[in-house]
Structure 1
Amino acid sequence: MTSRYPPDPHIRPGIATAEEGIVLLDGPNGVAISLTAEAAAETGRSLVDAAAEALKQRAAGKTGTPTDGDEISDAG
């Protein structure tokens, strides 16, 4: 069995919450991480920037990933 890299993207967003000064991010397939407020803010900025770039790539046809409505990995 071979692994695919990058793995198939998930279509469900992660959910972030704040508890006792820590940011918790629950993602697909039981992935969960805790971040300081500062690390969470920088991660958020990085995600927004990367999402904007990925949308530009998709619009230019440079993609092997799903478009809205396509489901690849929906577990979690």
Structure 2
Amino acid sequence: MNGHGLEPHRQGGTASAESGIVLLEGPGGVAVALTPDAAEATARSLDAAALEARGQRPIQSPSIRI
């Protein structure tokens, strides 16, 4: 995802459960409601992407934000 012009957030999101739904609140006002299955799939995907990103060279542009 190069060239999207957004600065990556340095704060993580917070997850909670309410009435059988997983609520994910992230930085910048991001909010997502997920089923438990979708939350587990998202957690696996985020974990895999974070592991992969740690092995990559950082983008040099200061104007990259996700």
Structure 1 residues 53, 24: CA separation in 2 closer, same or farther (over 3 Å shift)? same
Q: Partners of 1:9 and 1:19 in 2: how far apart?
A: 28
Rg larger in 1 or in 2? Answer: 1
**Counterpart among 36, 40, 58 of residue 63 in structure 1:** 58
Task: State percent identity of aligned pairs.
Answer: 50
Q: Partners of 1:55 and 1:47 in 2: how far apart?
A: 12
Letter in 2 for 1:55: R
Supply the RMSD in Å over aligned alpha carbons. Answer: 1.9
Q: Partners of 2:22 and 2:49 in 1: how far apart?
A: 20
Pairing 1:10–2:5 present? no
TM-score normalised according to structure 2 size: 0.81
Match of 2:49 in 1: 50
Letter in 1 for 2:59: G
How far did 1:29 drift? 1.2
Q: Which runs of 4+ in 1 moved over 3 A?
A: none
List alignment gaps of at least 5 residues for structure 2: none
How far did 1:30 drift? 1.0
Letter in 1 for 2:55: K
How many correspondences in the alignment? 60
List alignment gaps of at least 5 residues for structure 1: 66-71
